[in-house]
Amino acid sequence: MSERLQPGDTAPAFTLPDADGNEVSLAAYQGRKVIVYFYPAALTPGCTKQACDFTDNLELLAAAGYDVVGVSPDKPEKLAKFREKESLKVTLVGDPSKEVLEAYGAYGEKKLYGKTVTGVIRSTVVVDETGKVERALYNVKATGHVAKIVKDLGV
């Protein structure tokens, strides 16, 4: 079980492939705030709802200085299919090795339908301009989560 991040922690650096196979690094967002959200799988109902909510609020978040990156264990080909099918505008990156998911505390034991399983823990980490964790939210709900973040950040 990986450790959960706390406000003030340095966000773990990462470089992962996006839906087009291009590398996306956390370092590229230096000087801007970035919302890094972790979801279990592209093309599933809850993850689709969450990705669409982020896409719908992208302009609002960008105007407030936030970029959004979605991380899942999916390969770039599946992310591309997800982006095209749902007209997503958020940056989606794949972490098939689950190293970044683990570094962010977004992979481990969770309850699913009453059973304990190991998998992706739906989580959102807000990273500030200097690369520090501003907020770390774990076991978030797919529906209504983006509205809550927008409200909590005062956007």
Q: Which are the catalytic amino acids?
A: 47
Token pair belonging to 8? 């003030």
* Burial track 53-69 (b if 16+ CB lie within 10 A, e otherwise): bbbebbeebeeeebbbb
Strands 15-17 and 23-25, by their bridges, are antiparallel
**H helices within 57-108, ranges in order?**
58-63, 76-86, 99-103
Token pair belonging to 73? 């264990």
